[in-house]
Structure 1
Amino acid sequence: MIVIRDWLRLKPWEKLLIVTSENHMPEAEVLRHCAHRRSKRVDLMVVEKRGKHVGIFFDHHEDVFDGYQAVIGATDYSLVTTKATKRAIRRGSKFLSLPLSTNNGKSMLSYRFMMMDTKKSKMMAGIIMKYLNSSSVIHVRTKLGTDLKLYKRNRRAGFFNGVVKDGNGFSSASIEVYVPIEETKTEGILVPDGSLGYIGRVEDPFHIYLEKGRITEIEMTREGERLKEYMSDFHDSGIYVASELGIGLNSYAKCRGNSYIEDESAYGTFHIGVGRNIALGGVHEANGHFDLVAKRPDIYVDNRKIIERGKIIIPEPEFF
């Protein structure tokens, strides 16, 4: 009911489409049951493709959501950066990204991080976005060796907190601030020590090198080899482009590698999104998008520190 009532805010006259896959049918049925308490016009679409390539169909069929006023993407992977989603948002439909992939067999709908106060996360986002949107260069460092410079000329930060109204009709279960960074300028080193997106938890941190916006080298540890194999399976050089900076806002979430959405949402983490970013306000196309998560960053905007060891240090409300 959090998803249907509080996040999507489904109205009786709205027709809803829930996009899912066979392995998430129990969750989709629960969502449909809850939705029927608010609207009788609820359809299910079950996609055949699973995993990282699920978005291809929604790139090839941009008009697939045209008959609906609300859509929930409840497959394994996010549909948020697909062309069909972009078209739906442009046409005024609500879209909620709810990727249900987990690595421990536990339904994402049962995770405690779903209980995060959306008003609090919106307030947190507003504080950070104020400084991001008045800056042009972002510098991220960690004690483990991350040292990245990212650029955002003519790019605006946004945020997700689940509530589609707060996102002007578009949101994600990932509670975060995001910036669609300039795709050709990121320079430096990323040392992920949280998770590797859908792959799961990082056991041993390793180095990823970026030049002119692209991953140019991955340290060949066991973890590095896992990431390299995963990325090569996209069969698209565009997946190596750094296209997003994300900052987690969910104080209920923990970065444990069990849930992709929980990992990237966790307060005290940041992530670099690679691959497509068109739905976030960028211009880069690719066969997919996923995030590399690291913990306890120091983040500077135009040389002003706004986050220290993962904690917001700019003026903030008393309840933080």
Structure 2
Amino acid sequence: MKKIFMSRGASKIVNVCVGVKPNETVLIVTEYSKMSIAEAIAAEVYRIGGEPIITVIKPREIDSQEPPLCISEAMKSCDAFISVVGKSITHTHAVKDAIKNGARGVVLTQFSEEMLMKGGIEADFRAIAPLCKEMAKRIANSKEVELTTDNGSSLRFSSLNRRGNALYCMVEKGEFSTVPTIEANVSPVEGTASGVIVADGSIPYLGIGVLEEPVTFKVEEGMITSIKGERQADILKKDLEERKDPNVYNIAEMGVGLNPCCKFVGFMLEDEGVYGSVHIGIGTSITLGGNVKAACHYDLIMKDATIVADGELLMEKGKVQFNI
């Protein structure tokens, strides 16, 4: 019975998000625990005349770990790829190289069967796309971007000569997007971020999820220098220390959530899309326009953010302030 209710979301991913055409080869990268989702998507690819290929990989040990080389090569040679995994392979050379080679792809990290039936997947991606593109344009190439929240966040950075990325769940050749989060993001210039981040929404990794209490991060010269909080903060702090990689503290991204159907549930691609939220990505930035490859990429999510770019108020307490 559940497969029936999953079919609508699978159809949306195949036909709206990826835009699969007859005779196209679609590589579905998955794990055994996500097989029901991969099969629902493959069935829709087959129904419309495409050629679905399901490849099952061993779950990655950590987020941002590269998939096996043979999978990376397959991603480069297919028309489209769909990643349905628990541990993210989004911020990897495999994705970057596949996109550079002309493939188009979507990533469904931490996706559940329920997410294929309700929540962010129900949003009108086409209708929201213009807003997402405009936000990406306005946060890009700015001398100074300022992020604040009533909960104590106050972060400044430069995005000069950095592109804005509009991820609105629909892709063309040489593009990738997350689903169902709708977000505009930019990668700060390395070394320019400074201030304080107070995450009060979610850190959807390592089993942390929706935050019980705020986690505070001090940032100097583009790097996190301290992490303060309670139990959930300690989980993240310990994990980052164990990486033995200074780049995991890099301020890699500022992303603006724009999906009105997303809610904080503890899963990455739902939480990051919550309308009016902002997440600061740390670690790897190579898929976003930055230059850093780290041992991981995690997102620190804040509610009801205010954003000013080169003096222009773009969002105030979680509400977009410009018209399309």
TM-score, normalisation: structure 1: 0.91
Displacement of 1:76 in angstroms is 0.9
Tell me which residue corresponds to 1:242: 251
Q: Whole-Å Cα distance in 2 between the matches of residues 202 and 59 of structure 1?
A: 36
- Match in the other structure for 1:96: 106
Q: Which residue of 1 aligns with 2:171?
A: 164
Q: Hey, what does 2:80 align to over in structure 1?
A: 70
| Maintained 8 Å contact 1:139/1:147 | yes
Q: 1:135, CA displacement in angstroms? A: 2.4
Pick the aligned partner of 1:27 from 34, 37, 43: 37
| Mapped pair 1:308 → 2:316 | yes
SS of the residue corresponding to residue 17 of structure 1 reads strand
2:260 aligns with 251
C-alpha distance in 1 between matches for 2:250 and 2:310 = 23
What does residue 294 of structure 2 align with? 286
- Within 2, Cα distance between the matches of 1:275 and 1:210? 13
Q: Secondary structure at the match of 2:67?
A: helix
- The alignment-based identity, stated in percent, is 29
Are the equivalent residues in 1 in contact too, given 2:142–2:158 (CA < 8 A)?
A: no
Partner of residue 42 from structure 1, selected from 42, 49, 52: 52
Unaligned runs of 5+ in 2: 1-10
Give the match for residue 182 of structure 1. 189
**Deviation readout 1:185-215 (Å, 9 max, x if unpaired):** 1101000000012230111113111111111
Cα 1:158–1:66 change in 2 (3 A) is closer
Partner SS state of residue 207, structure 1? strand
In 1, are the aligned partners of 2:100 and 2:174 still within 8 Å (CA)?
A: no
Aligned Cα root-mean-square deviation (Å): 2.0
Q: Is the 8 A contact 2:64 2:91 kept in 1?
A: no
Per-residue Cα deviation, 1:210-260 (whole angstroms, up to 9, x for no partner): 111111100142221122123234442211111100000101111232x21
Contact 1:194–1:256 (CA under 8 A) maintained in structure 2: no
Task: Pick closer, same or farther for the CA change 1:233–1:35 going to 2, 3 Å.
Answer: farther
1:195 aligns with 2:202: yes
1:40: Cα distance to partner? 4.5
The 8 Å contact of residues 56 and 287 in structure 1, kept in 2 or not, is answered as no
Corresponding residue number in structure 2 for 1:273: 281
Q: 1:26 to 1:251 in 2, by over 3 A?
A: same
Give distance in 1, aligned partners of 2:189 and 2:71: 28
The Cα of 1:87 is off from its aligned counterpart by 1.2
- What is aligned with 1:217? 226
Q: Which runs of 5+ in 1 are unaligned?
A: none
Evaluate the alpha carbon distance shift between residue 208 and residue 58 of structure 1 in structure 2; reply closer, same or farther with a 3 A threshold.
farther
The equivalent of 1:122 in structure 2 is: 129
1:296 aligns with 2:304: yes
Where does 1:223-238 land on structure 2 (aligned, <5 Å)?
223-238=232-247
Aligned partner letter, 2:225: T
Aligned to 2:5: none
Q: Distance in 2 between matches of 1:288 and 1:134?
A: 25
Per the alignment, residue 272 of structure 2 pairs with 264
Q: Are the equivalent residues in 1 in contact too, given 2:101–2:174 (CA < 8 A)?
A: no
Q: TM-score, with normalisation over the residues of structure 2?
A: 0.90
Aligned counterpart, 2:156: 149
For residue 64 of structure 1, report the CA deviation from its aligned partner: 3.8
Q: Distance in 1 between matches of 2:60 and 2:102?
A: 28
**1:101 positional shift:** 4.5
Q: CA deviation at 1:61?
A: 6.6
Deviation per CA, 1:72-107, whole angstroms, max 9, x where unpaired? Answer: 1111133222111111111111111111356xxx64
3-state SS, counterpart of residue 281 of structure 2: strand
Q: Partners in 1 of 2:20 and 2:169 — Cα distance?
A: 13
